[in-house]
Amino acid sequence: MPPTFAYILMFMIWVFVACLAWLAAGLMLFTRRTRTLSRPLCFAMAGTFPFVFAYQIIAAPFVAVLLVAAWAFWKVLEPGVSTTTQNPVVIVVSITSAFLAFGTVLAMSLAGFYEGWRTGWACGGGRRFQEVLYEGPTVRLIFRILQMARLKRTLSQDGGVPRS
């Protein structure tokens, strides 16, 4: 069974759960007490899709490099056209790289789901998209990394003496 089958199956489950959430949000519109939660729920579920795909696209180069490195390791130890191996080192490296690739995509998908849900829920509550986006943990992490890189570059240009 190809890995794309598992990906498509998980995507279909995600779409089904999203449809259930949207159905629940639609039903919540009929009750005055739950009407205020209906719009944020709808926006939150819709927000997960672009964020998950964006995070998976970000993870794709790392996963590709990991899998190509495992394949190259295999071909260095066992050159030729064989598609099977009995070398335990190759087997361990292949299985480890497959689990690392799966774990990376899963972790990035969950991070994207969280970020999309958080952003969608806040936007559904009436906040501006840009304001919500800049408060997110991902953007704060990116800004922190950029600040550290800028500081490092400044220190290397000044000979290690920080400016006042």
Are residues 17 and 69 located together in one domain of the fold?
A: yes
Are residues 20 and 68 located together in one domain of the fold?
A: yes
Predicted confidence band at 164 (pLDDT cuts at 50, 70, 90)? low
Tens digit of each residue's pLDDT (9 = 90 or more) over 16-68: 999 999 999 999 989 889 889 999 999 999 999 999 999 999 999 999 999 99
Tens digit of each residue's pLDDT (9 = 90 or more) over 105-120: 999 999 999 999 999 9
Structure tokens at 85: 């191996």
Are residues 108 and 134 located together in one domain of the fold?
A: no
Are residues 30 and 46 located together in one domain of the fold?
A: yes
**Range of 42's domain?**
3-125
Are residues 92 and 132 located together in one domain of the fold?
A: no
Q: What burial letters (b/e) apply to 75-102, b meaning 16+ CB within 10 Å?
A: eeeeeeeeeeeeeeebeebbeebeeebe
